[in-house]
Every structure is written in C-alpha cells, then in structure tokens.
Amino acid sequence: MQPPAADQVLVQGQQFADWASLNDTIMGGNSRAGCRVVEDGLLLEGELIERGGGFVSCRSPRLQPPLDLSPYSALRIDVDGEGRTLKIALGCRDGALGLTELIPGGLRWVIDVPTNTSGTTQVLVPFADLRPTVRAKPVGLPLRFDRGGITRIQVLHSKFGDAGELNPGFRPGAIRLLIRSIRALP
C-alpha cells in the first residue's frame, strides 16, 4: 500500500459537534467538566477533583463504520493544554470478535503526551507507541492495534498515566483545554 502524500484532517471546528464529555463520575468521582464546540475547536472546561476518581475527558462518538487510517502512521492533535500531560486513548477493532468491548471500560490504546504551558502544542501520537489498557491498567495480552478499524478517539487528563502509574503532569482544580484539530499523518 502506498503511503499518503499529505496529512488528512480528521476533525476540526464544527466537526467536533458530536463529541461528548466522559468524566470520573462514571466511577463515583466528583469531577465536573463538559465539552462544547467554540470557534477554534472543542473546549473542555470544568473542575477536576482527584478524590474518588481524577479524570475528565472529551471523546468522539462511536465511529461507525470504523475509521480506516491504515495508510497513516500517527495522529497529530493540536491542543492548548495548559502544560498538562494528557492521555490520548483510541478504541479499535480488536481481532477477537469484539470481545474486548465487553470488558467494563473497554480496551483502549493509549499514550501520555505533554503539552506546553501556553499556546498550542502539536501532540504527536505514533500508532506504534500506543499501549493496550483497560481502565488505566496495562494489558499483557498479545493484542494488535488495528489502525484500519478505529472506533473512538478520546482526550483525557487523568491522575493515572498510560502505564497505570501516577501521571506526574496531573493537576486537579480548574481545567480548560482547547482541542483545535486532529489529523492523520503519513
């Protein structure tokens, strides 16, 4: 397969309209954050409370049909991230007849990414560096990331990093992240 010659914009501006917040309240936490479309992209803002949970996020709707990014090697997310270390989580077909979707919280392929304290950070998410996890715990099964079958994209700020350890860039309190665009890179 011939690699593409250029980036492909996957989501920007009003294309974020169907994205929704998912916060630690699903696990009994108390963080309150919502996402909404603004002129420059998708804004996640609210209050992040560490006790009882410790995460806020915005995620795409379930992508049906799955997004085929097989010609690409990475994502680039342009985000104003307040110097926080974010977690990028992708869902994909799992090659196990969808059985991993039956796992509470689902299997996600994740990576931690630092952001600049001010301005926009161009976050690189190489598909080869993604690790399988379930609810912030690494999965040791021999699974393969299917970049030809991406079913969900999520941007989180969590007290847990991609390896299940504490996120050294975690900061509770007021949060305001602006996701400007998501692109696929050759």
Q: Where are the domains of the chain?
A: 8-185
Averaged pLDDT, groups of 10, the chain, 186 residues long: 79 96 86 96 96 91 94 97 96 65 72 96 97 78 86 93 81 96 97
CATH superfamily entry for domain 8-185: Galactose-binding domain-like (2.60.120.260)
The pLDDT score that the predictor gives to residue 95 is: 57
Q: Where are the beta strands (DSSP E) in the chain?
A: 8-12, 20-21, 32-38, 41-48, 55-59, 74-80, 85-92, 107-114, 121-126, 131-134, 137-138, 150-158, 173-185
State the pTM of this model: 0.89
